[in-house]
Amino acid sequence: MQTDTRPVLHATGISKFFPGVIALDDVELALYPGEVHALLGENGAGKSTLIKCLTGAYGRDGGTITLDGQEIDPRDPLSSQEAGIGTVYQEVNLLPNLSVAENLFLGRQPRRFGMIDQRRMVRDARGILSEYGLEVDPARLLSSYSIAVQQIVAIARAVELSGKVLILDEPTASLDRDEVQLMFSVIRRLTARGLAVVFITHFLDQVQEICDRATILRNGRVVGTLKLAEASRTDIVTMMLGRQLEEVTRHPDRGVPGEVLLSLRGFGRRGAIEPFDMDLREGEVVGLAGLLGSGRSETCNAVFGADPADRGEARLRGAPLGLSNPRAAIRQRFALCPEDRKTDGIVGELSVRENIILSLQARQGWFRPLPRARIEAIAEHYVKALDIRLASLDTPIRLLSGGNQQKALLARWLATDPALLILDEPTRGIDVGAHAEIIALIERLRADGMALLVASSEMEELVAYSTRIVVLRDRRQVGELAGGEISPAAIVRAIAAEEGAAKEEVLA
């Protein structure tokens, strides 16, 4: 199949303008059958925009697209779907109010006598999902499953739809290793059949593992296309960022943690997280590790009062404390950067500036507006400090690229000068450059004496900044690693050990 030198999909001269932004400028992308093509670039480089132009979700302002040599002009996602392009857009784009099976089959449900054959649909869905190692009940609502499950469903749907091309925009952002491997095996099967796959991610090791070639975007322009076999990781990063990046290999000096800031005893919430004890000290990063659905997010939410705990007690510097809602927590200078930024984080229509000062303003109260100059100063400070890429501070935040939204949310909470900062998947969808910056930032905040609680599915990252790591499984705390014990392998072991123990228990 590699002998065929004609690209399946060839886009040339793609341009796209947004008010105040040139998102794409004369971009070319060629996909050959059987290849996995990485699309790389910083946050806001234009990757997602390019995808949307290719599938017709956006109307493009210039350029031609050919599929199998035929020029096509997709007007909406439906027409590209029908042409054989399956797509997973960034952020899960499925319908939480429909069942898993319906999400898989929407628009092409199996029919009998003109009516949808529900039973067959569910059966087929179960079959498809089991290829991804997912044993869910396809008849249940999609919203009853975690983001990770939804992500896999989205991938499965796109795979089913892709006759010629499969496009994956950051599909692995909330998946853990096993799922990623399963997905890769599916991709390999597809490429063996001659499909072309576009893969967007910020995980360079995944790129090197599965991709054949990469096109690199910077500020809406193609800076180069290269064969990955011939390129080193540093080359790629340098092309992406336009500068060298010092790798974070340094392990933190784990310092001396300060006083206990928050101490939780028997803290838990029915149906969400089993009661646990935890002490958070100033100048300490506590990492939360675990598999998907292990209850990391639930822990974060309970501590912040977003899904308040219904048992146990909390003490702040020894004094009893009620954490019944986020406001109570914010009053004690807690902050939570949520996992799902689209629904729990950003206020889409508001400007970036307003999003950044929102929490600070909320804490100040209704009748003490922040002075204009101060707002401006805060916003500009964090845009510079976190390198948020935007056309202007007046841009509605929903128009920012995913990674930049994440940074703006971080800015919102940093602006409140928190004593305890809770980060749930802080680096989801963040590019390599920013990833390093955020790790450095966490380090710096810790050194300044802040207490941090960080949930992440990236073990290397956790290992890099955590003073202690709490391991969760099945909504229960099952272990704790500290100091020298901390390593990815140890985490994996902690999870697995408990699994073994649990099995033995069942057998006994």
Partner 1 sequence: MRHSTKLPLYITIATFLLAYALCIAEYPSMLSTRVVANLLTDNAFLGITAVGMTFVILSGGIDLSVGSVIAFTGVFLAVVLRDTHIHPLAAFVIVLLITTLFGAAMGLIIHYLEMPPFIVTLAGMFLMRGLAYVLSTDSVPIDHEFYGWLQSLYWKAPGGGRFRITGLLMVLTFAGAMLVLHRTRFGRNVYAIGGSAQTAQLMGVPCARTTVLIYAVSGGLAGLAGIVFSLYTSAGYSLAAVGTELDAIAAVVIGGTLLTGGSGFVAGTFFGIMIMGLIQTYIVFDGTLSSWWTKIVIGVLLFTFIMLQKGLAWVTTGRIPRASASAARS
Partner 2 sequence: MILTTLRRVAPQLIILALVLLLNFAMFPGFFRVEMHNGRLFGNLIDVLNRGAPVALLSVGMTLVIATRGIDLSVGAVMAIAGAVAASVVTGGSDWVVAVLAALGAGALCGLWNGVLVAVLRIQPIVATLVLMVAGRGIAQLLTHGAILTFNDPGLVRLGGGTILHVPTPIWIWIVLAVVVGLVVRRTALGLLIEATGINERSARLAGINARVLLIAVYLVTGLCAALAGIVVAGDIRGADANNAGLWMELDAILAVVIGGNSLLGGRFSITASLIGALIIQSVNSAILLSGMPVEFNLVIKALIIIAILVIQSPRVNHALYLLRASSGAFSPGASRGASTPRNTAPRSAASRTDHTTEEGRP
Ligand X SMILES: Nc1ncnc2c1ncn2[C@@H]1O[C@H](COP(=O)(O)OP(=O)(O)OP(=O)(O)O)[C@@H](O)[C@H]1O
Which residues of this protein are in contact with ligand X, per CB under 6 A? 18, 21, 23, 41, 43-49, 90, 144-148, 174, 290, 292-298, 339, 389, 399-404, 429, 431, 455, 457
Tokens found for residue 354: 């307003």
Tokens 């029919």, located at residue: 111
**Of the ranges 112-120, 167-175, 410-418, 455-463, which one interacts with partner 1 (CB under 8 A)?**
112-120
- Does 135 interact with partner 1 (rule: CB under 8 A)? yes
- Does 90 interact with Mg ion (rule: CB under 5 A)? yes
- What is the number of alpha carbons within 13 Å of residue 433 lying toward its C-beta? 24
Q: How far separated are the first and last CA of the chain, in Å rounded?
A: 54
Q: Please give the C-alpha separations between residue 21 and each of 97, 120, 128, 388, 401, in angstroms, as whole numbers.
A: 35, 47, 41, 14, 12
**Of the ranges 107-115, 206-214, 361-369, 401-409, which one interacts with Mg ion (CB under 5 A)?**
401-409
The interface mask with partner 2, positions 368-407, x = CB under 8 A, is: xxx--------------------xx-xxx--x--------
Q: Which is nearer to partner 2, 21 or 149 (CB)?
A: 21
Beta bridge partners, 85, equal 165
- Residue 19 contact partner, candidates Mg ion, partner 1, partner 2, none, CB within 5 to 8 A by sort of partner: partner 2
State in angstroms the smallest separation of the CB of 374 from ligand X: 25
State in angstroms the smallest separation of the CB of 492 from partner 1: 17
Query: Segment 267-296, which members bind Mg ion (CB under 5 A)?
Result: 296
**# of chain residues touching partner 1 (CB under 8 A):** 47
How many angstroms from the chain centroid is the CA of residue 338? 11
- Residue 432 contact partner, candidates Mg ion, partner 1, partner 2, none, CB within 5 to 8 A by sort of partner: none
User: φ and ψ at 69, to 5 degrees?
Assistant: 85, -15
Q: Which is nearer to partner 2, 77 or 194 (CB)?
A: 77
Task: Specify whether the CB–CB gap between 446 and 467 falls below 8 A.
Answer: yes
Query: Segment 4-63, which members bind partner 2 (CB under 8 A)?
Result: 17-22, 52, 57-59
- Does 296 interact with partner 2 (rule: CB under 8 A)? no
Helix, coil or strand: residue 172: coil
Task: Specify whether the CB–CB gap between 14 and 60 falls below 8 A.
Answer: yes
Would you give the DSSP letter of residue 140?
Answer: S
Residue 304 CB partners (closer than 8 Å, separation 6+): 323, 326, 329, 334, 336, 422
Question: In terms of C-beta density within 10 A (0-12 exposed, 13-18 middle, 19 or more buried), how is residue 416 classed?
Answer: buried
CA gap 331, 279 in Å, rounded: 19
Which residues bind to partner 1, rule: CB under 8 A? Answer: 57, 76-78, 81-82, 87, 89, 93-99, 102-103, 106-107, 109, 111, 114-116, 118, 133-137, 139-141, 144-146, 149, 157, 161, 271-272, 291-294, 474-475
